[in-house]
Amino acid sequence: MTSVLTLPTPRGTLTPQRSLADLTWLRVGGPADWLFQPADLEDLAAFLGALDPAIPVFPMGVGSNLIVRDGGIRGVVIRLGRGFNSIAVEGNRVTAGAAAPDAHVARRAAEGGVDLTFLRTIPGSIGGAVRMNAGCYGSYVADVLVEVTAVTREGRVVVIPAADLGLAYRSSVLPPGWVLTGAVFEGPPGDPAALALRMAEQVAKRDASQPTKDRTAGSTFRNPAGFSSTGRADDVHDLKAWKLIADAGMRGARRGGAEMSPMHANFLVNRDGATAADLEGLGEAVRERVFQMTGIRLEWEIMRVGDA
């Protein structure tokens, strides 16, 4: 365990041996050596600037796309909260804190006549959406992102243009240990009532096809092709991960308390007190079965971190 004597004293909350299970949507995972919840941007920058460079740092969002392994995470996990969830709309630009939920940003933007409706059904917060270039319905963060603010591992506050993030299919090149704190988007204009209706239709479509009432972490695996025929990084692929899983006979497959959802084969579910090992093990079994049958090795979309 990291010694308390090696850590700076922040204004925010610093908790030793904090279980992370209740902070993830799948409700699994061991403790972090330390969980840091900074009070504000200055607190975060000062803490990182004073933190021993040898201590690893893991920025954690709302845990919507994450398996924390049962042994927990060494070092400091940083989780942004109320000081990082503001949303402001000015003209066609939307400025959002990294902790702001994607759905809230979509709704506030729509109320201000800005079309960021694709964010409405994406689970998680803005920080994760930027890191993973989240998207659906043919629209992606890369299409509307102007710039982000981040704190480097050394504690410097930097503003990074979207073009420098290397946004591609479900990925970016933000250095490890850097903490995203906010983002600026510029979306096309739209009628607030029409945008609200579109979002309602998107939510209804999602709820009809995905296990939104179960403990999941969103899509488990990326669609096999990273680019469409146009060369754009998007989800318009001929091959869908859910179909490969279903065709391999793994829809509804179980391991311990983990299950591949019968409703949507690409959703890993904590059905009955699963451990992180159950969930990751089932996912690996699915990958192996699909590979044996098709020669295609599915790539995880869910991030898996920590010690087994």
Q: Which of 79, 170, 251, 287 is catalytic?
A: 170
Of the three residues 79, 100, 126, the one that is the final residue of a domain is 79
- Is residue 202 a part of any domain in this protein? no
Spatial strand order of the sheet with 216-219 comes to 216-219, 267-270, 258-260, 254-255
Q: Is residue 207 part of a domain?
A: no
- Calpha distance 10→276 (Å, rounded): 31
How do residues 84-94 score in pLDDT, each as one tens digit? 999 999 999 99
Q: Is the pLDDT of residue 32 over 70?
A: yes
Q: Would 203 be classed as within a structural domain?
A: no
Per-residue pLDDT, averaged over 179-196, amounts to 98
Give yes or no: residues 100 and 155 share one domain: yes
The active-site residue, picked from 147, 284, 288, 301, is 301
Q: Both 162 and 96 in a single domain?
A: yes
Whether 44 and 122 map to the same domain: the answer is: no
Domain of 231?
A: 213-305
114 lies in a domain? yes
Comparing CA positions, the residue from 150, 148, 149, 127 lying closest to residue 48 is 150
Number of domains in the chain: 3
Give the separation between CA 194 and CA 3, rounded to whole angstroms.
Answer: 55
* Options 64, 125, 139, 219, the catalytic residue: 219
Q: CATH number for the domain including 38?
A: 3.30.43.10
219 annotated active-site? yes
Last residue in a domain, options 59, 79, 99: 79
Tell me if residue 209 is catalytic: no
Residue 100 shares a structural domain with residue 175: yes
User: In angstroms, rounded to a whole number, what is the distance separating the alpha carbons of residues 32 and 29?
Assistant: 9
CATH number of the domain encompassing residue 279? 3.90.78.10
Which of 194, 226, 259 lies at the terminal end of a domain, its last residue? Answer: 194
Please state the pTM of the whole predicted model. Answer: 0.91
- Looking at residue 176, what is its pLDDT? 86
Residue 301 is among the residues annotated as catalytic for this protein: yes
What is the distance between the alpha carbons of residues 307 and 277, in angstroms, rounded to a whole number? 10
When pLDDT is averaged across residues 15-33 and rounded to a whole number, the result is 97
| Model pLDDT for residues 289-306, shown as the tens digit of each residue | 999 999 999 999 999 999
SS3 66: strand
What local confidence, expressed as pLDDT, does residue 3 receive?
44
